[in-house]
Chains A and B, each alone.
Chain A
Amino acid sequence: MDILVCVKRVPMVGGTIVLTGDGQDVDTRMSGFTVSPHEECAVEEAVRITERDGGSVTVLTLGPPEAVEQLRDMLALGAHRGVLLETDGREWGPVATAAAIAEAVEELGAATFPLIFFGTEAADTGGYQVGVRVAHRLRRPCATGIKRLEAGGGGLRAVRERGGAAELFDVPLPAVVSVREGINLPRYPSLPGRLRAKRAEITVLKPHWRPEGLRKTGLRVPAGSARRAQMLGHGAAAVPALMQALAEMGVLP
């Protein structure tokens, strides 16, 4: 089966998020970029399916020219081809992103990919919708939040956690499935994988940006999110003070 996996380039944030001076974006000058975690798992899932059953994995991203780095990272994990929907660096909203992806899929030949993977939500914007919107544009069924996937009944059996239980969806192919981290443990890229990724050809398409009904006016760090902890001491010598703090919280047995 030939599988398309859509991934998003997101800032790599460590211990703190720093905003740009105008409060419009995350300052990435000191950090760098990565692929949103759920989507890295989507790539791993696709690679495992094709290793087992044959076929190919194409990774697609919408982003600035530098997003080629993220495509190559995913090629190093075992994906075969890359497609970049190149933007001018502006932030794209979910409606425009989904439209651009659906149009690209049609251009590449929709029938080419019986299965299209997404991450359930992007690490940065957390919009929870691009995969579903693409599914509707392509008139395909869709399952989201999936933590386990098996072949079955001429389609896929997809499992999502729900409270203390699980819910199960039988999804006929062709389909769109958005997955969550935990569906697998992504591998580390191998050296041959990295070399192959470096040489792989990337298809570049240039979609049109569209305005959205939901418009960001600014970003901010929530108030009160940084404080300085009260120091209880060093090493085992701190245990009496720690015991007292736990007693005050009412959590000691």
Chain B
Amino acid sequence: MTVLCLLEREGDGLAEASLRALSAAAAAAAGAGPGAGAGAGAGVTAVVFEGGDGPLADGALAELAERGVSALCMVPSAALAAYAPAAWARTLHQLVQSDAAIAVIGAATDRGHEVLAHLGAMSGLPVAANCVSFTPAGDGSWELVRQRWGGSLLEDAILDAPCALVSVLADGVMPGPDHDAAGRPNAAAGAAAGAAAGAAAESVVGSAAGSAAGLAVAETLSEGQQEAGMARGPVVRVLRPDFQKEDLLVVATEADEAGGGQSLATARVVVGGGRGVGGPEGFGVLEELAGLLGGVVGVSRVVTSQGWRPHRQQVGQTGTKISPELYLACGISGAIQHMAGCLAAKHIVAVNTDPDAPIISRAEYAVIGDLNEVIPALVAAIRARPPG
């Protein structure tokens, strides 16, 4: 019995969103199975594709062990050269069958959603996207909470399926009983697992042999594991899945053009402008303020649908999701669609002429007034401030 966790890459390491998915997988595995409790349930098998990203860094394997991964299934570049959504799903589909998986968990990312949807279609299983919590109900089904409306609503649901297909959000997963908030095992268990991981990471080799359910698999115990007589570091299995022709029709190639909205997504300060800015010419002062604060300008959907600013600057459910220290929302009413994009902002300050605007009940601080008066005055005050 196992819980599969699809891990996405970032350079030679693992994507942050995938590490959170791994926490959810570990918690789900610990709570599943007979005599549910810490360590009594299923194991966690991580699934990683080399294609397009190359081999994993040495440290990544130790990190997996530390996070409770018992086996790592690796699809080498030779088996699949680049990201192909249906091929990734085919691999998972074959693993679900060969390993009798009770759940497949991925990150709620474009790839995570897409691969799980393909897997759902191939297997005829339901898919629960955007989950913030996911726990075994005890009768073989799962109780989960998932986001609707980009996080403005929560849905409580029951997932009843022989294998649960779930994408989990980076910022909402409930840690399990024996894991801390970051999803790492708690002190006692963590120290032992960490020691084993260090040994395992140095000595893993893979070579192909054997076959199960269409998968060629090589299982390799690390020297560290053999010496210690335990299997706490992940067992590495190199997979060569049986792809069908249609699995390889759509394959990604990296384009060297810049994607939109990225600096917005990671900016430390976002100065937002909405309908209250009045027109395309009104954004100069917001740009000036953003520049002073080392931030960028974001806008509401009204602004982009009017054509005042390009869509890549849109903050919202259908635009970019931001997570700055400060979101200074100017002339923005705070529609549900917009607020879904700034739920992760640490501080929200609203500048609005209407004291009853919805944003006032979602912000931490508010200034009631015309942004064309307030923002230039703020810019002047920042410029006049003694350095340091």
Contact = CB atoms under 8 A, between A and B. Distances in A.
B366 A232 contact: yes
Given A215-B157, A242-B349, A159 B255 contact: yes
Interface stretch (A82-90, A105-113, A136-144): A136-144
A72 interface: no
Interface stretch (A52-60, A160-168, A196-204): A160-168
B81 interface: no
B366 A145 contact: no
B120 interface: yes
B374 A215 contact: no
Interface in B16-36: none
B255 A166 contact: yes
Given A216-B155, A229-B350, A253-B293, A245 B365 contact: yes
Contact of A217 (B10, B117, B156, B301): B156
A233 interface: yes
B161 A216 contact: no
A168 B113 contact: no
Contacts of A98: 121
A16 B364 contact: no
Given A127-B129, A132-B117, A215-B158, A236 B360 contact: no
Interface stretch (B70-78, B197-205, B332-340): B332-340
Interface string B51-88: 00000000000000000000000000000000101100
B343 to A, nearest CB: 8
B157 A13 contact: no
Contacts of B139: none
Interface string A48-67: 00000000000000000000
Q: How extensive is the interface on chain A, given as a class?
A: 35 or more
Contacts, number: 284
A126 interface: yes
B297 to A, nearest CB: 15
B178 to A, nearest CB: 25
B259 A236 contact: no
A171 interface: yes
A181 B120 contact: no
Nearest to B314: A182
A251 B385 CA distance: 13
A137 B365 CA distance: 51
A242 B367 contact: yes
A230 B325 contact: no
Contacts of B373: 235-236
B252 interface: yes
A47 B120 CA distance: 31
A139 to B, nearest CB: 7
Interface of chain A, main secondary structure:
mixed
Contacts of B337: 13, 37, 123
A127 B292 contact: no
A216 B156 contact: yes
A182 B311 contact: yes
Interface string B144-182: 000111111111111111000001000000000000000
Nearest to B363: A229
A231 interface: yes
A215 B121 CA distance: 18
B161 to A, nearest CB: 4
A246 B318 CA distance: 28
A47 to B, nearest CB: 16
B377 A236 contact: yes
A234 B325 contact: no
Interface in A1-22: 13-17, 19
Contact of B154 (A13, A145, A220): A220
A222 B147 CA distance: 9
A70 B232 CA distance: 56
B147 to A, nearest CB: 7
Contact of B318 (A37, A125, A213, A253): A37
Contacts of A235: 367-370, 373-374
A240 interface: yes
A213 B126 contact: yes
A226 B255 contact: no
Contacts of B225: none
A230 B117 contact: no
A136 B250 CA distance: 13
B255 A251 contact: no
Given A17-B336, A228-B361, A242-B367, A182 B319 contact: yes
B284 interface: no
A240 to B, nearest CB: 7
Given A144-B110, A214-B128, A249-B326, A230 B364 contact: yes
B188 interface: no
B269 interface: yes
Contact of A128 (B129, B335, B350, B381): B129
Given A121-B113, A129-B113, A132-B118, 15 more contacts: A13-B149, A13-B152, A16-B336, A17-B336, A121-B129, A127-B129, A145-B114, A163-B262, A164-B258, A167-B253, A213-B126, A220-B154, A222-B152, A229-B366, A252-B293
Interface of A: 13-17, 19, 26, 37-38, 93-95, 98, 121, 123-129, 131-133, 135-137, 139, 141-145, 147, 159-172, 180-182, 185-186, 212-222, 225-236, 238-240, 242-243, 245-246, 249-253
17 contacts: A16-B358, A95-B120, A135-B121, A136-B122, A142-B250, A147-B260, A168-B252, A171-B250, A182-B304, A214-B127, A215-B157, A228-B360, A229-B361, A234-B367, A240-B381, A242-B378, A251-B269
3 nearest interchain CB pairs? A15-B358, A182-B311, A136-B121
